[in-house]
Structure 1
Amino acid sequence: MKSDSRKRGRLRLDERLRALHPIDRFRAPPKGWVRALRDALGMTGAQLGARIGVRPQTVEAIEKSEAAGTIQLNTLRRAAEALDCTLVYALVPNSSLETVIEGRARKIATRELQRVAHTMRLEAQDTDEADFESRVQTYIRDRLSERDLWNET
């Protein structure tokens, strides 16, 4: 089944990304990685510029744009190579992908079931709150597909 395959993929990706937590370890230095590494190596802006093939003023612009968060990945990759480094790029979820999927499904199911319960109360057909959790799980299993989770914000 396609959703089982997608879930296995999520779990594998979660496992790979787990090594990147806590992400604070990878927070860039205040002046950026390029400047921090260049300084640590004792390399001048002119020397780095020669290695990249740009003027020293361009190195300064690269370092400022990295610190500001506006640098292009290709430019950062070129600077990394000139510093004998490898650019590592990743999007690291704040929680596991499986937790995100489960939370989103629960939110949608709860909202829909509460809407139905409200209508039934207005019609004096109140539902038993004791089995609400099982109704949420049933709604998720029977009514939601993963693609439905992202139709709205």
Structure 2
Amino acid sequence: MRNKKQLLIEQLDQKLKPFQETEMVLVPDKGWVNTIRTTLNMTMAQLGTKLGVTKQGVKRIEESEAKGSISINSLKEVGDALELKLVYGFVPKDGTIDNLINNKAQTLARKIVLRTNQNMKLEDQGISDEKIKQSVIDLATEIKREMRKSLWE
């Protein structure tokens, strides 16, 4: 039976699925605001009028976006002025949130099992490679089920 945490992970993966299946969106060098404004053949003054700022204000907006220092609220305002919707979110680099958690749990489990096995070897009680492999799988499953905070250290 799935626990509440697993259900939340599955629901989040479902919400992110449309974004995972699209190609990587690359931000244009001059930023989206500049790219969209120039594509629409709109001047800085025209966009400034829609935003209630000067031409220099639009230039600052475009520069701050290109540098990565623009606020989300500023992007929303520009989107509203251009009659566009701002889309914002995080998508796992490799697959799903579930995969991310699995990978982190496997890494942590392997670290714990190998450290424990090293201590056991010092006492001539080391375990076989097959037993190590199974121990990592078992511990990773437990770590994932419990969603230990140590997963993110």
Q: Which moved more, 1:32-41 or 1:11-20?
A: 11-20
**Identity fraction in percent:** 32
TM-score by length of 1: 0.87
Kept in 1: contact 2:109–2:136 (CA 8 A): yes
1:86 counterpart letter in structure 2:
K
Q: Deviations over 1:118-137 (max 9, x none)?
A: 11111112212222222122
Shift of the 33–114 alpha-carbon distance from structure 1 to 2, 3 Å rule, reads: same
For 1:103 and 1:90, the matched residues in 2 are separated by 21
Closer/same/farther in 2, CA of residues 100 and 25 from structure 1, 3 Å limit: closer
Which residue of structure 2 lines up, in the alignment, with residue 70 of structure 1? Answer: 69
Aligned 1:87-126 pairs, distance under 5 A: 87-95=86-94, 96-126=96-126
Matches of 2:12 and 2:141, distance apart in 1: 23
- Find the residue that maps to 2:93 and give its secondary structure: coil
Deviations 1:97-149 (A, max 9, x none): 11111111111111111111111111112212222222122223456721333
Aligned counterpart, 1:16:
15
Q: What CA RMSD, in Å, does the superposition of the two structures yield over aligned residues?
A: 2.1
For 1:36-67, what per-residue CA distance to the aligned partner results, in whole angstroms no more than 9, with x for missing partners?
A: 11112121111110100011100011011111
**Distance in 2 (alpha carbons) for counterparts of 1:116 and 1:86:** 52
> Per-residue displacement from partner, 1:65-106 (whole Å, max 9, x unpaired)?
111111111111111111110111111111211111111111
Unaligned residue ranges in structure 2 (runs of 5+): none
Inter-partner Cα distance in structure 1 for 2:30 and 2:105: 41
Q: Out of 52-61 and 28-37, give the one that drifted further.
A: 28-37
Greater shift in the superposed pair: 133-142 or 110-119: 133-142
Structure 1, 125-134 or 42-51: larger mean CA deviation: 125-134
Partner of 1:147: 148
Aligned length, in residue pairs: 151
CA distance in 1, matches of 2:134, 2:68: 46
Judge conservation of contact 1:105–1:149 (CA < 8 Å) in 2. no
- Note closer, same or farther for the CA distance 1:141–1:22 as it changes in structure 2 (3 Å cut): closer
1:134 aligns with 2:152: no
Gaps of 5+ in 1: none
Kindly indicate whether the alpha-carbon contact (under 8 Å) linking 2:105 and 2:143 is maintained by their aligned counterparts in 1: no
2:102–2:140 contact (8 Å) kept in structure 1: no
Q: Is the 8 A contact 2:16 2:91 kept in 1?
A: yes
